[in-house]
Structure 1
Amino acid sequence: MAEMSGGCLCGAKRFTVDIPDDPHAYLCHCRMCQKASGNVSLAMVGVKQADVTWDREPDWYRSSPIAERPFCATCGTSLGFRFLEGSENMDLTVAAFDDPSVFTPRSHFGAESINRAWLNTEGLPEQRTDEYEKLQDKWRKAGASPPTL
């Protein structure tokens, strides 16, 4: 087990969680996760609810009659998913972790809604944000620094 931390974009909602040595990270393609994240899939990692400690309780959205999703009402960050009853587990969004690079997807869920064109993007042109001068100029003009890894 390793303790990891994460949170939302604005920092208002933070968590720590014990992650097992071989965590089950996956991509969820179900329409609920697509709509909740505004994306073609949502990278999640399964954890025990009892292993999650919130510095500040997140806001909760009851996304269906059977489940709810933690999020930050200030910045809108999606933080996860849990069933209302019958499970000691929940999922946290991989991107909300301070170091999401430790997770590797092991499966796909909601396969009926996979947008296959977005699965393998190998070979598409890539551009780093720190090398995109127009973006860097906007940060400088705002008197701020861009987010880093």
Structure 2
Amino acid sequence: MIAGGCRCGAVRYTLAMDDLPAVYCCHCRDCQTGSGSAFAEQAPVREAALAIVKGAVVDFTLPTSNGAISRHFACGTCHTRLYNVNSGRPGLAIVRAGTLDRSDEPSPRLHIWTSRKQPWIVIADDVPQWPESAPMDAFAALFLPGQAAE
């Protein structure tokens, strides 16, 4: 079981997984603004694997540029964003990797929206990157092997 939670400790969650999820970094302007940082580090997981085990979350929705609705979940006390789901990707939750208890362990498998990355960020040559979104087949192969059709 993998665990994580918010900054103040009021909300805790678990992921029904044996290993830490893979992570990617998104450098788009929305992720920069939403995280208050240079990029967002995110972990795609099956939504059914995610369970809030302590505390109350609040949620809000944001439209996406492609017309989907992104629903974001945060601690009701400290407002740490924990994860989001998107109507365009049913069954998938995107966990904010910094909220994992073992957040220092995963290394990004890919970077997207590098056309917007800060110029001082250097991405290793062996890590795939795309100037905008990664093609879904490439994304699924790296993060959801055997699940691409689900």
TM-score, with structure 1 as normaliser: 0.70
**2:82 — aligned with what?**
79
Q: Please give the alpha-carbon distance, in whole angstroms, between the structure 1 residues aligned to 2:49 and 2:84.
A: 15
What displacement does 1:10 show? 0.9
Q: Which residue of 2 aligns with 1:91?
A: 94
- 2:48 maps to 50
Q: 1:93 to 1:86 in 2, by over 3 A?
A: closer
Task: State how far apart, in whole Å, the 2-side matches of 1:110 and 1:30 are.
Answer: 5
Structure 1 residue 39: deviation in Å?
0.8
Partner amino acid for 1:80?
Y
The aligned residue for residue 27 of structure 1 is 25
1:44-87 deviation digits (Å, cap 9, x = unpaired)? 11100000010234211212252121112321212122203542
Residue segments in structure 2 that go unaligned for 5+ positions in a row: 124-150
CA RMSD of aligned residues (A): 2.0
> Which ranges of 4 or more aligned residues in structure 1 deviate by more than 3 Å?
19-23
Partner of 1:135: none
The code of the aligned residue for 1:98 comes to D
- Larger deviation, residues 54-63 vs 34-43: 54-63
Specify which of 103, 108, 111 is matched with residue 111 of structure 2.
108
Query: Matches of 1:100 and 1:34 in 2, distance apart?
Result: 19
- Counterpart in the other structure of 1:41: 39
> 1:18 is matched by which residue type in structure 2?
A
AA at the equivalent of 1:60: D
Instruction: Give, in whole Å, the separation in 2 of the partners of 1:93 and 1:22.
Output: 13
Give CA-to-partner distance per residue, 1:85-118, whole Å, 9 cap, x none.
5421111111101111231110012223111313
- Of 2, 6, 9, which aligns to 1:8? 6
Query: Contact conserved, 1:34 with 1:41, CA < 8 A, in 2?
Result: yes
Structure 1 residue 63 corresponds to structure 2 residue 66:
no
- Paired with 2:15 and 2:118, the residues of 1 have a C-alpha distance of 31
The structure with the largest alpha-carbon Rg is: 1
TM-score (norm 2): 0.69
Q: Tell me, what secondary structure is at the counterpart of 1:26?
A: strand
1:94 & 1:109 partners in 2: Cα distance?
15
The farther-off stretch of 7-16 and 56-65 is 56-65
For 2:37 and 2:20, the matched residues in 1 are separated by 26
Identity %: 26
How many residues align? The count is: 118
